[in-house]
Structure 1
């Protein structure tokens, strides 16, 4: 059925009114929609009939005229929709991503900025620690870049650390990226990712289930994780502590029937504990983007199958020191005993390696070798 512009505007008005009614959450709204049909039909239902499905208080809230605050919010949204590249998709919209229709708790509305076509693209979610190591950031960038070059879209949450690196890497490939945020679509959080958010809107897609103007509230971010995983065929976890929001995303992915992938790390690293826990529980251990592509049965002619690079440009002493460092975090005192150097010479060599991007100094003071991914 094709609606004229006035009917479309009224339809969106009713969806917004339903979503903004106090005391009516997603679950209740979906129950009412399943019984009565579209929001307009809910609002035209008799009070007594509504109370067979919801409380009297909720029924009164639904049937009363919108107050000034709700009208203001609806007007704000209508103005926002006049701007190019902004969309509002309801559950009944043909453009609503099919992948989200199958999850247990699909959002009632999606506020979208950018490329709508990406909502139908084959997608892999990439998530991980906000306090990532340099190696974790590098892994997120390169895995996402390679997957994107192979044609996969990358979904993540625009958080600091792994999320931001995943988006940045994905933007360098043809698959691009979707950022699922826990604020209104008119707010960028954290503020440090403002430029990245603008790049995503220009070349990818930013979406939220929350009304415009919604600030950063802690409880909203775990909920948005179900959308990050729901959009995807699988979720890749890169660096996660034993108690981590990324593990919530992985659990949701498993409940949604999605694949879960994890990159292992050092047994000494707290940020590897979560990934190792997932692998013990059945997540697929991955060492390259090709491992993921093989699982999701996606052609990857443009994808590199390995992430290790040689370091022939380094002088022999530096190459030797890298071998001594190994791939586990190590204290400088241990290196002194291994290599027999004095602390001044060793410190100079370590500084050179760090400036060239071969190692990083962890917050604990340990030294970690980096491998290009």
Structure 2
């Protein structure tokens, strides 16, 4: 049995979750003990190589399918980040290109002495290693007040890491950087989806990537995003109901380092278990599934003129799905009143069709839930 111990930086959540993001695509037994992640298997270094090959495939697919989002590129700021990656590429003899970095390292790892590789992960911190670029130091910059983060700003990360550890962090960063979203007019951020535990199977974690990669409508309000995530990941959550951390990150550019804009703890496990009965019923019908997704997207869209109303309905719907009868009754009443008031307008040309659609869909969904609850005798 082959054993590999990976040291985890103490107190720095994002670095730990980058490791989780990569290690969830590794076919090996995983265990956390103190400040180490322990991998066990017949050929753990071979499993790491296979995982890195998967990262190469992910990069190639994102470059081909989502060229405009540039998710295959490594964003860098100023002289420091570029100097770090220039040093890396010089050491492993490749161009400054994400694909070439991983391909070159895979070739090195195939020839590397196993003990040297293990030491590079078990004892990754030394004065001779690589400094951390800003994409690895997100807790230093911007918003770090939020779920799972310490209050305020972290102390500077002076640590340097081994080549092997650096590559694993980079692999986790690449996998987690799953999309782009508009955070305000003319301003964009990357979306990172991070696992909070080493619990996903390789196949499920890859399916999640495929389902969520691309343009995101936003991550606020939280209840709208959670509804959107649960519906899109419904089949996965039946077998693996795990929680996620969602970050929006301003990519480094010019002198500006990478910085967290917002963070959201998505407790998918608890919400799935509480809403399973009603959501399972609603998702059986294509219309109600599409209506739920449409309402969630409108609540998330910063450019939608009726965003506030969509947010109000989605909040009530979020509570209703978890069995809150008062919220369900309020949703039914408000949506019915709004729909009726719009339809009573004398000048049909003045009717806001999207607002009417929001009211009508919310009313029909609340009606379906009430009808289902009535049949169940709740």
Which has the larger share of helix? Answer: 2
Tell me which structure has the larger Cα radius of gyration: 1
- Using structure 2 for the length normalisation, give the TM-score: 0.30
- Using structure 1 for the length normalisation, give the TM-score: 0.30
